[in-house]
Amino acid sequence: MIVETAPAKINLALHVRARRDDGYHEIETLFAFLSDGDVLRLAPGPASFALEGPFGVILSAEGDNLVTRAAAAFARAFDLPSEGAFTLDKRLPVASGIGGGSADAAAALRALARRNGIAIDDPRLFACADALGSDVPACLYGRSALGRGRGERLEPLDGLAGVPVLLVNPGVAVSTGAVFSAWDRVDRGPIGDGDLLERALLGRNDLEAPARSIAPVIGEALAMLEGTANTRLVRMSGSGATCFALYESEADRAAAAAAIGAARPEWWRLESTLA
Ligand code: C5P
């Protein structure tokens, strides 16, 4: 049995630069990963896929899954039979801007690479990841990085490991494509220089305004996080609706989680740390 965690991804900053002819947007983003996420298990046997965990039911209702697509892409790329019994413990909310599906696809590729003795830096593995989604290459390596292009041109960046983080999702799923379409097409400039936190603090998430126009409750989540003590950065992740705050200490994070939990018990929360 192979077990791969599929860590949640957050975008410490996300600058949208231009819409390309292929419909995708040229972006610059600071990826960071958490020490928590979904958990994917791969057991020997005929090809199968099962879901469990708090968000498993929602996902099975949707049908198409990135884990099975990743397994099919891997089998084609390496000319191997499609086999292996996957079980996904779905702990992260679906369509929430923290890369759940992308992380699951990347975990499936890593599990299959381990099973078949393929190196993680094999270019065919990267090609599979790139074809599966814009965030999948970053999730394949699972380490903080500056991402350019659609997010697949990656430069590793260190510096925030161990920082306490609180994620809050106000219970709305937003479509990434819809949020990108609502972007106002104004290029507000690149991500600056400096260390990871400096770059993040100087940066912004250009998808926040379009996401808030689609789901105004995102503004409430941001205001709630901004009202907590000793934050280092408060921002929406990806195309939303999940928002996050980085804290000075674990005690600050715990106090914030308790306060938000009391005010909005129906919102999803995750207390974690940056990897
Ligand atoms: O690549 P992925 O399948 O995750 O993207 C989902 C949708 O988000 C795309 O179909 C596209 O509409 C939009 N997108 C974009 N520019 C990006 C990434 C995603 O327009 N860089």
**Model confidence over 165-175: pLDDT tens digits?**
999 999 999 99
CA pair distance 206, 212, nearest whole angstrom:
11
On whether the 2-156 domain is CATH 3.30.230.10, my answer is yes
29 CB near ligand 1 (under 6 Å): no
Q: How far is the CA of 23 from the centre of ligand 1 (A)?
A: 8
Residue whose CA lies nearest to ligand 1 atom number 7: 177
Q: Is 135 a catalytic residue?
A: yes
Is 136 annotated in a binding site? The answer is: no
pLDDT at 57: 82
**Domain-wise residue ranges, the chain:** 2-156, 164-273
Look up residue 117 and give its two tokens: 């003795």
Q: Which long-range contacts (CB under 8 A, 24 or more apart) does 172-177 make?
A: 172/215, 172/217, 172/218, 172/241, 173/93, 173/94, 173/95, 173/96, 173/241, 174/95, 174/96, 174/97, 174/211, 174/214, 174/215, 174/239, 174/240, 174/241, 175/95, 175/239, 176/95, 176/97, 176/238, 176/239
Q: Chain-wide mean pLDDT for the chain?
A: 96
For residue 187, the one-letter residue type is D
Is 120 annotated in a binding site? The answer is: no
176 CB near ligand 1 (under 6 Å): yes
24 CB near ligand 1 (under 6 Å): yes
Q: Is 89 a catalytic residue?
A: no
pLDDT at 141: 97
103 CB near ligand 1 (under 6 Å): no
Residue whose CA lies nearest to ligand 1 atom number 20: 24
CA pair distance 190, 5, nearest whole angstrom:
32
ipTM over 0.95: yes
pLDDT at 61 over 60: no
pLDDT at 196: 96
Q: What is the pTM of this model?
A: 0.96
Q: What is the pLDDT of residues 195-225, one digit of tens each?
A: 999 999 999 999 999 999 999 999 999 999 9
Q: What is the pLDDT of residues 76-129, one digit of tens each?
A: 999 999 889 999 999 999 889 999 899 999 999 999 999 999 999 999 999 999
Look up residue 139 and give its two tokens: 């999730």
DSSP-based helix, strand, coil % in the chain, nearest 5: 35, 30, 35
Q: Are 16 and 25 in contact (CB under 8 A)?
A: yes
Out of 36, 38, 104, 135, the active site residue is: 135
**Pocket test residue of 14, 25, 26, 28 for ligand 1, highest count of atoms within 8 A of CB:** 25
Burial code (b: 16+ CB inside 10 Å, e: under 16) for 32-54 equals bbbebbbbbbbeeeeeeeebeee
> What is the CATH number that goes with domain 164-273?
3.30.70.890
